[in-house]
Each structure stands twice: as structure tokens, then as C-alpha cells.
Structure 1
Amino acid sequence: MKATKITAIDFFDDLSSPYARKRFFVGFIVFGGLCIVAMYLDHQFVPNGAIKAVLDSVLANLLSSILVILGFYILYTFFIGPNDGLKEVVPTRARDISEAMKQLPEKTRSYLFWGRSGSYFRSSPLIVLDGYARRSKIMTNVDVLMPDPFDERLINSYRDIKDSLGEESDGNPLLANVLATTICCAVLNANNRYLSVRVFYSAFLPAFRVDLSDNGSILTQDDKSKGALFFKPSSEFHELLRTSILNEMAVSREINLEEATFKKKKLDSGSCTPEILARFGVAEAARSALAPKIATLIEERRHRYT
């Protein structure tokens, strides 16, 4: 593979980032507005003379430069556009991750998720996938791979990760989130005949998350201040991630989503009761306290990528 396909970035491609483009235009527009205000004040309050002539010249040149820069970029993007065809791996800014993730579940027939708790997945991509399958009446397959929340080794490791991120990690922080994602998958799987969801519990705790669909894939970290990598469907790394997920699924435990149990259930507190938690193997002593906590996660749908 040519290096340009992996790292091809130029000034204009960099501004194709929604966050960078917003800062670029807002910054220059504000600067231009300040120039116009300064020119107005200059004409109203500065007496004729050498100082006024200098101010007029400087402000006029600044304003014309701003207009030239904005005009040149608009013409470039309209007639030429970014070099999307040159690269298959796109470095993604932390602030652009949410935008990139929103593209993945759109109009796709296959979606793979590999992560730790699935808080964002159950809050957005899963809902989009369910809606698209209903509207299009096209069968959509979704595979979800998460760490086993009953594995003590993984629980301890996840607690350490939460501590390092400055987040609450008392008890078993993995259990509530993983079960919330599992129940969301079970509810939509049972009530949408065009959506087929499988959930797997792995003996591996990933230090990353992968979202992969027909539209591409994105590899992210848990720290929302760090960037990500977006892989186009034509990239060999996209296929590498797909193969890795499928291989891990093959050695993981598939969860029975209890379709009959979740028929006519909705994504609300009624979908999580102590009786339902019993079907997923939660200890009897923990069910009553855990059920409302999971119900809150299902209803509020909090996540890092707001």
C-alpha cells in the first residue's frame, strides 16, 4: 500500500474536519466583523489626518485579506473538494469522533461493535440501526462483543481503568453497563423482525473500541480527549478489524437474548426487573439493587460522545 493512502493530509483536507472548519469560518468571520466595526469607529470618531489614513489602509487590507482567504477556500471546496480518494485511513480529531460515528450506522446492513460497556453504542448507533431496519424493511445484522461482566479478572481491570479516568468505580462497574447494553439489544431484537442482534461476552478486556459497518470503521480509545482512526471500507485495516472481531466472537460466549421475555418491551424501566436479571445470571442478592441502576442507564442513555 502506498504511504499516501494512509497519511495523505493537506491544508484543505484538514479543514474538511467539521470542528476545524467551524473554527476556521467562525474565527475569520468574527475577525472580519471586528474589522468592519473598527472601520466604522474610525470613520465616525477619528479626525482626518495621517493616523486616520494609516488606520483606513490597515483595516481595509485586513478585511480584503479575510475575504480573499474565505473566498478561495469556498471556491476550492466547491470546484475541487478534499482528496478523499487518496487516503483509506483518516486520522480523526477527538472533537470529530462523534460526527464520524454518526455516519457508520446510516443505511448499513451489517454492524459490528467491540468495546467495554457499549454506553454510546446503545445510546445512538443501536437506535439508528433499529430505525433504519424498520423504515427500509431490509434485514440488518448487528453483532456486539463486550467483556464478560462476571469475570473477576476483567472486573478488576475495568475498575483500574475507571479510576485512571477519574470516574466512579465502586463494586462492579462493568456489570451494570454491560447488562444495560445487553438488555437494549434484547428489546430491539425481540420487537423488530428486520433486526437481528447477537451479543457475545468475551474473556478479553479491550483497551479500545471498534465500530464497524459497510460505511467504514473507527478505532477509538476510552479517553474522549484523544483522537481516533477512521478506516474506509476499501482499507485493508477495515478488513483486519472485521476479522479480529469475528475471531474473538468465535471464542466468546454467546448470550441468549430471551426473545420471548422481551416481546412488547420498550427501552424503559420496565425492561429491567430482578426477574429479568436472574435470566442473565445475576446473583439473587444483587438483583433488587442493580435493577433500578440498569433501568436508569437504559432510559438516560448517557455517553462520552455528546
Structure 2
Amino acid sequence: MKVALVGIGKIARDQHVPALAASGDWELAATVSRAGTVEGVEAYTDFAAMLAARPDIPMVSLCLPPMPRFAYAEAALKAGRHVMLEKPPGATLAEVHALEALAAAQGLTLYATWHSRMAEAVAAAKAWLSDRVVRRAHITWREDVRKWHPGQDWVFEPGGMGVFDPGINALSILTEILPAPVHVTAATLEFPENRDTPIAAQITFSGGVSADFDWRQEGPQTWDIEVETDKGPMALRMGGNRLEIGGVEAGGVNSIMGEYPALYAQMAALVRAGRSDVDLSPMVHVADALTLGKRVVTAPFHF
């Protein structure tokens, strides 16, 4: 099946293009971007022009930042195309609900992807926790925004989500592996004095769950979820790709390169089955943290 990739930035080049090149389900047939292109692939700068010129492309994968994404997704669905959304699926919950309703009315597939759920050890962690009582869980998600979003000011603009852009990856894993749901009860959000979204956040959830997100960590990056249960401890490290049980490594890999191929395989399965997958539980936690969060002003941030 043919796919058009919209938004040829860092995540598209690092993950989507290689995943599509290796896919047995999809052929990258067109790109849409103001400046970016992929060698050997027909390139457009105007999305409407691509939709009009390429009725043979049944699916659009949107890698744009969340703020402009709704208009593109709506146009694609109205043009009869299946839509795959990079995380987070939108700037607001309401607009994604609207897209879900539109996809259903059009008989099309809408897939709100969460790439970290496809990390190598997530399924094993979920299975291990399924018959255990979770007593405490803590997320430590600390990385360097200058490394992962170099010069990308949109992440600090309204709708960009700030540190929740990576933090939502942790929340997507948490909502996948916990045997019972939790909800946000309190949060402290650190805003640089010159920015509109937080650079760090500390969150408290029900059920003894907590999280520490920070975008200022240099050197080694930390993507850990540690869980204490009635039958001992478990930890997911490297963004869900390494599993530890009782402090001993129990499987996984040292790479995230398998996550996006799994997303595109799932999208193919959804299209063939005529289904959508729009789980917004990670984004609900972000919205609740932003609603309940105490604002603390911190030092200005510059790339």
C-alpha cells in the first residue's frame, strides 16, 4: 500500500523513512514538506495539491508538530485517506475526538500511535505485572532537549507540550503496563521565564505512582520506570527496551529502531481490518497535569 509522509523533519528522517523502507506493507510514494524531501520520492510543498494529484495513495502519515496537525488530518480524512498520527496525536483532546468521529463517519482508519509502547520489553513487563499488586511506581524521564529537538522552538510554544513531548512516551508505557488505571492528583511544573511550556515536571498519581520529567539533563539520558509489587521489583529501562526483574536483566535490546516498524505493521493490520485505534489515556494524564500543576518560574532557556 502506498503512503504519503507529511512533515520531513528529524523524526521523519530518523524513524519513519527507515521504517517505511524496510516495510513489506507500505511504499513511501510521496512526501509533503515546506523544505524537506526524501531522495527518489515525489515531493510536494502543498498538501491539498498532493491529495488532488495522488488519489492512488490511500494513507497519510502525519509527522508535523501537534499544533497544525488537525487541519491536515481533517483534510486527509475528508479526501478518503486513512490517517496515522505521530505522538502526541494532537494539540488538544477535543480535536482528536473530532478526528475519531470523522474517521468513523468516513469508514476510515485513524491510528493515534504511541511508539514507546512498541519498545522491546513493554509487552513482557505488562505480562509480568498482570497478576501482581503494584505498591509503588516511579518514572524518571530525563533527557537533553538540545540533543533531541535542536533549535525546535515549537516545543516551547503553546501546544508544543514542552517536557511532556518526551514525557508522554513514559505515560504511554505506564498506561499500557499497569494492571489498574491511575490518575493525576498533583503536579509541579517548571517554566523557563522566557517560554510558554514546561521544561520540567514532577507529577503525583493515585496508587503510589509518581513521575519526574526533565529536559535539562546532559550526558547519559535516563528513561526508567521502576515498579515495586507484592512479588518483588521490576524496572523498564532505555525507554522500555530493557527489562529488569528483581534487579537482574531479563531481556530486551539496546535500540529503539524496532518501534516504528511495529507501528507501521500495526497500521497495515488496522487498515486491513477496517478498524481504528485512538487511545488517548497518555494525553489525558498530560492534560490533567497541566490543569492541576503548580507553576514555578525557572531560569530562561535558549538553544
TM-score with structure 2 length normalisation? Answer: 0.27
Structure (1 or 2) with the greater strand fraction: 2
- Max radius of gyration: which structure? 1
Structure (1 or 2) with the greater helix fraction: 1
